[in-house]
Amino acid sequence: MTKKVLILCTGNSCRSQMAEGLINARLGPEFEAFSAGTRPSGYVHPKAIAAMAEFGIDLSHNESKNLEQFRGRYFDYIITVCDSAKEDCPVWLEQAGTRTHIGFDDPAEATGTEAEIMAEFRRIRDEIADRVLTFLRDEVK
């Protein structure tokens, strides 16, 4: 049976979107991921889309989603990827499955040249691929 994963962030524009894409591309059909934000930004960051495209994962049609649209749905795993979402995680998610926090820096806050900013998005993408995918793989062992 496919395990449902909710990736929760604040804006749902970078980290949670990349995690959703990585899980669905690399761990499906064992896992199905969804992402949401406690305060969604309303867009998916273009550099997150570009970083994922380098892995052959298309986020260009993804949307920034509000956590409330998932109320009443069961998830086997809830993973917060930023400290703010960890603190703001609503009580109604307490009844869901395993909850864990795997925090990452926000690449949207990166400064510098375009190349330096893109390098930060790649670094976070790679960290997500390593830590989140490893966590889920270990859970099914």
* Active-site residue list: 9, 82, 89
Rounded to 5 degrees, φ, ψ at 8 are -115, 130
The CA dihedral of 72, 94, 31, 42, to the nearest 10 degrees, is 70
**Distance between CA 21 and CA 34 in Å, rounded?**
9
- Work out the number of other CB atoms within 10 angstroms of the CB of residue 121: 24
H or E stretch including 135?
helix 114-139
Strands in 2-68 per DSSP E: 3-9, 31-37
Question: Tokens 């920034």 correspond to what residue?
Answer: 64
Question: Which tokens is 71 given?
Answer: 């109320």
